[in-house]
Amino acid sequence: MPGPSFDRTSSDRSVIVIGAGPNGLACAHRLASKGRKVTLIEAEAHPGGGARALPDLAPGLTPSLAHLVWQLDPRVEAAMDLARHGLAWEATDIPTTVIGREGNLVIRGALTDGPDAAAWKELHQRLMSFAAALEPFRRMAPPRLQAAGNSWGRLAKNLIGIRALGTRDFRELLRVILINAHDVAQDELSDPRLRAALCFDAVLGAWAGPRSPNTLILLLDRLAGEIAGRKGALALPKGGMPALARAMANAATAAGVSLRSNARVSRINIADDQVTGITLESGETLAAPLVISAIGPKATILSLAGAQHFDTGLVTALRHQKSRGGTAKLHLALSALPDFQGADPRARILLTRDEHEVETAFNPVKYGEVPARPVMEVVIPTAFGGTGAHLLSANVQFAPHAPKAGEDAARAQMLAACMTRLEEAAPGIGALITKADLLMPYDIERQFGMAGGNWHHGELAVEQMLFNRPIAPLSRYATPLKGLWLTGAGTHPGGMSGAAGRNAADAVLEAKA
């Protein structure tokens, strides 16, 4: 049965937010702090989305899907006062170490050693200046292509910021923004380890190899998020990523948000072309004239609300939105700290020898096959403050979402390929493993509700960014259905920084919805 209908002039200020990932938490907190009565619904036992705690791999070793803070929106961190609610930092400004044929290379922002240090510094600073010019767009609703509805003053200010780069740099930005990362790496750098790092970071979490068109803009988007975050540095919370999730949940509940866990939504209730609330799988109905979904545009529109409530063109465009996940997640419980050829274990370690290996790892995945030599980002969060047993967390590029060999066979093949690569980089690591767990993209889709296993609930690609994210008619967080709004990684600007949640809440407040 549909929920009760609402008078369109009702003063009811109730809001339901579906999904307590970082963006859902940020959105709920923002609205509650502005006087809205917010109920936050989470299907799992713990909030946090990709940052939430997974079952312990071994006593005291608690993994999560995300293992580092790449981007935490400073507006969100300040408004939620996360430090007061339990967030402390184990490490900031974490360096990257590339394990290459020529030995280990440590990179800390623009600083590195070796004969290519000057070229790396110049390229890094140039890319950061481009990213800084683009970063303000992350903090606003995407502009409309038509005249009506834009915040013209803010948009003009941001466009002026890009033009302020100067003629030479502005032309260079226009040149590089649509080219691939592989060409930039080869044109600008001679050290294969630096080329590898640039290409790896450009395609991390993407369905693209470094030779794929437009991959440099993915790197600029990542750098823009770093600029907005904690001093542009990679960071690890004390207690791992679940500690960030707990702090955000604490802040939200302190602001008055009613957080309900273990509550899965079965449908969004609609009457007379207006949202009236939600129904849970338990059969319980919750009424509210405003529902904001952070669980992904496809799941929200096509499953919870129902395609029949939307224009055929919108539904078709959303069904064709690309959402392919190409990253697997490996967790290992280790009896002792492994030795990555003398590398500092308190670093982000990249296992890729050069830019060609990144591309070669992507090629088989396009055909549903497992790469023989995957490239990997390895973090050992327990190395920053633990002793004894250790947890290794790795993002493995690339992995097929729809493998030809079948899911179980592909998972076994991928685990074997990962172990071969790890043993090569850290001889003897296999003897330290007490338990291993590998999540393929199809596992991630099932466990986290991410369409296609893609981290962003829809690929971050040039044709699916800004005013085309997730698709043009839904780019400003509002849907054509009165009372239904979107947020989360599937909306602009993507990611789990909280920016999309904050932006969506501001859009709701500005619309006086």
**Pair of tokens at residue 340:** 């990555």
Q: Which domains does the chain have, with CATH numbers?
A: 14-54+69-89+238-322+453-511 (3.50.50.60), 113-233 (no CATH), 327-400+404-439 (3.30.70)
- pLDDT for 122: 94
- pLDDT for 9: 41
> In which band, very low, low, confident or very high, does the pLDDT at 174 lie, cut at 50, 70 and 90?
confident
390-397 vs 375-379, strand pairing mode: antiparallel
**pLDDT higher than 80, residue 228:** no
**pLDDT higher than 50, residue 380:** yes
> In which band, very low, low, confident or very high, does the pLDDT at 113 lie, cut at 50, 70 and 90?
confident
Q: Which residues contact 361 (CB under 8 A, 6 or more apart)?
A: 209, 352, 371, 373, 374, 375, 397, 398
- pLDDT for 1: 36
> In which band, very low, low, confident or very high, does the pLDDT at 5 lie, cut at 50, 70 and 90?
very low
- pLDDT for 234: 87
- pLDDT for 160: 57
The percent of residues in the chain predicted with pLDDT above 90, rounded, is 77
Element (H, E) at 274: strand 274-280
Rounded mean pLDDT of 455-465? Answer: 90
Burial annotation 221-260 (CB, 10 A radius, 16+ → b, else e): bbbbbbbbbbebbbbbbebbbbbbbbbbbbbbbebebebb
CA atoms of 51 and 217, how far apart (whole Å): 25
Rounded mean pLDDT of 52-75? Answer: 93
CA distances from 52 to 202, 204, 358, 380, 405 (A): 25, 20, 29, 17, 31
484-486 vs 290-293, strand pairing mode: parallel
> In which band, very low, low, confident or very high, does the pLDDT at 367 lie, cut at 50, 70 and 90?
very high
Rounded mean pLDDT of 414-430? Answer: 98
> In which band, very low, low, confident or very high, does the pLDDT at 142 lie, cut at 50, 70 and 90?
confident
Read off the DSSP letter of residue 58. B
CA atoms of 298 and 452, how far apart (whole Å): 11
> In which band, very low, low, confident or very high, does the pLDDT at 157 lie, cut at 50, 70 and 90?
low
- pLDDT for 257: 98
CB count, 10 Å around CB of 79?
A: 17
Choose between 362 and 132: higher pLDDT. Answer: 362
Rounded mean pLDDT of 473-493? Answer: 95
Amino acid in position 345? P
**Pair of tokens at residue 390:** 């250790």
Read off the DSSP letter of residue 148. T
Rounded mean pLDDT of 316-323? Answer: 95
> In which band, very low, low, confident or very high, does the pLDDT at 278 lie, cut at 50, 70 and 90?
very high
- pLDDT for 312: 96
Choose between 223 and 300: higher pLDDT. Answer: 300
- pLDDT for 132: 85
Rounded mean pLDDT of 432-446? Answer: 97
- pLDDT for 141: 82
Nearest to 267 by CA among 283, 248, 290, 247: 283
> Which residues does residue 392 pair with via DSSP β-bridges, in sequence order?
332
What is the 3 state secondary structure string of 96-147? EEEEECCEEEEEECCECCCCCHHHHHHHHHHHHHHHHHHHHHHHCCCCCCCC
CA atoms of 149 and 181, how far apart (whole Å): 35
- pLDDT for 135: 85
Taken in order 337, 343, 347, 350, the sign of the CA dihedral is: negative
Angle at CA of residue 457, ends 452 and 462, nearest 5°: 100
> In which band, very low, low, confident or very high, does the pLDDT at 196 lie, cut at 50, 70 and 90?
very high
**pLDDT higher than 90, residue 119:** yes
Lowest model confidence (mean pLDDT) among 79-88, 111-120, 156-165: 156-165
Rounded mean pLDDT of 417-446? Answer: 97
Choose between 162 and 342: higher pLDDT. Answer: 342
Lowest model confidence (mean pLDDT) among 34-38, 244-248, 330-334, 387-391: 387-391
- pLDDT for 161: 60
Rounded mean pLDDT of 137-158? Answer: 63
> What's the mean per-residue pLDDT of the chain?
91
The percent of residues in the chain predicted with pLDDT above 70, rounded, is 92
**pLDDT higher than 60, residue 155:** no
> In which band, very low, low, confident or very high, does the pLDDT at 388 lie, cut at 50, 70 and 90?
confident
Q: Tell me: the pLDDT tens digits for 9-25?
A: 456 789 999 999 999 99
Q: Which of 9-13, 125-129, 171-175 has the highest mean pLDDT?
A: 125-129
